[in-house]
Amino acid sequence: MSCSLILSTLPVASATPDTLVLLHPHSADFANHVINDFKDWYDETFGTSITLQTMEMDSGASYQQVKTWDGAPEADVLWGGGEYYLMSLAGKGLLEGHKVTEDSDILDEFGGWPIKDPEGAYDWYAAALSSFGFMWNTEYLVANDLIPPSTWEDLTKPEYYGHIVMCDPAKSGSTTAIVINVIQHYIVQEGWDNNATGWQNAWHYWAKVAGNVGLFTESSHAVPTKVVTGEYGIGLVIDYYSWEQIQAGEDLGWSNGGATTVSTDPAGILKGAPHLLEAQRWMDYLTSKRGQEAVGFGRMPIREDALPTAPVLSAWYNASQVPVITGYDRDAHNAMFSVAREMFSYWLVKNQNTAKASWGKIIEAEEMLLDDDAEYLTAVEEYIKIPESTDTLTKALSVNREEEAAVWETWGASHFEAAKASAQNALSDYEKKSQQAAQSQIYTYVGAGIVIIAVAALLYYYMRKK
């Protein structure tokens, strides 16, 4: 029997098809757009197709799942979820380093935030950038005779009272980032050497915004829904929440408020990935110019040479519309993350009803032009008083949050009530003075009438005598 005959009778092993499993928290429209382009790229580049499977979980759940797998993952890549999660997984040895083919075209950082693994192990790369601001429902604003806000400061204006929706920062990492974004905006205005004043100005700001908020939601995803359905006119969100809705045809507007930071949304190969080669190719694609332009369908690209699809903006091309804060401190951001979210939640969110009622009375007093009234000034002073334990950044970073939580809540309840009482006193005094003035005017009119009648009677009397 010849050798060729022997070979021909042996079973032919079928090639294992190229496969990739992605774990991610993205919306279906965005994920599918990028995945479909990746499949086309894969076929064009390697001359073969790839089977791609996805596992969808929110960011926190994805992070916990990777920890549970503990080096024996059922997915190959964690795509998205935030820098904190990827850095934590890298620190636990649960990511597989891979230097992408176009690494030299990717900056190390942007706006103070790393775009690639700062440890130099190539455990992760940013897959997208995100900025922060607010969206609005155009039809809602027109119906309520409101103009769109353009700056963060605009959100404190009395005309927006009750028209704003925001998530409780304690329930959302992106909303906490919004809070800290504005805090650093105020600190940078004053200069980091004078961070106590910037910190205080920022919290005065957030107290006023909280007074204008009509609803604090339990999740950040609920905010754009409330705006789209017209329950509220303005919502504080991460950028792509608004872009997704605009792409879906909703009549919405978006602004970064004149000052924003960026955050990175990274991807990394999981340690023990079942399909390591395909995972490496995914990372090469995702960080390439082509991959970033696919990402730019719904998110801000990490590369200057990647053009996004409208309405998505680029921090590289649209600097005036994405005004990244110069001097933003990433370490300070991370240091104040927990205390800022809990302080906001306990002081402002848990006291929302009282704060809103108090702020409403202050607005009423302003409308009556009582800006110089002593009771009005006391009301404003009481309303914006920052809890003493955290009235400077230095104090806030050293506070025991568990012990202070109840203090923050009690502080808010007490001072908002005091502010409401003072504002009501100002309004009552104004009403009393107005009534007295009206009564005095009536007396004046009556007196004048009596005089006129008396004069008329005298004239009539003298005329009759003649």
pLDDT band at 17; cut points 50, 70, 90: confident
Task: Say whether 310 sits in a helix, a strand or coil.
Answer: coil
The helix/strand/coil state of 255 is: strand
Q: Could you read off the pLDDT of 26-63 as tens digits, one per residue?
A: 999 999 999 999 999 999 999 999 999 999 999 889 99
pLDDT, the chain, mean: 91
Band the pLDDT of 212: cuts 50, 70, 90: very high
Query: Which residues touch 42 (CB under 8 Å, ≥6 apart)?
Result: 18, 48, 49, 50, 281, 285
DSSP 238: E
Taking only the tens place, the pLDDT of each residue in 145-156 is: 999 999 999 999
CB-based contacts of 362, cutoff 8 Å, min separation 6: 211, 376, 379, 380, 383, 419, 423
Instruction: Say whether pLDDT at 15 is over 70.
Output: no
Say which residue, 387 or 457, is predicted with more confidence.
387
Q: What are the structural domains, with CATH classification, of the chain?
A: 10-129+263-295 (3.40.190.10), 130-261+326-424 (3.40.190.10)
Position 89 confidence tier, pLDDT thresholds 50, 70, 90: very high
10 Å CB burial of residue 209 (0-12, 13-18, 19+) is buried
Q: Name, in order, each residue with C-beta under 8 angstroms of 391's C-beta and a sequence gap of 6 or more.
A: 199, 200, 203
| 3-class secondary-structure state, position 145 | coil
Give me the pLDDT at residue 13, please.
38
What type of residue sits at position 376? Answer: Y
Q: Give me 236's structure tokens.
A: 């504080």
pTM of the model: 0.87
Average pLDDT over residues 402-406: 95
Indicate if the alpha-carbon torsion angle 301, 305, 309, 314 is positive or negative.
positive
Q: How open is the CA angle 91-61-76, to the nearest 5 degrees?
A: 65
| Cβ proximity of 300 and 312 under 8 Å | yes
- 344, pLDDT greater than 80: yes
Q: Quick check: 14 pLDDT over 70? A: no
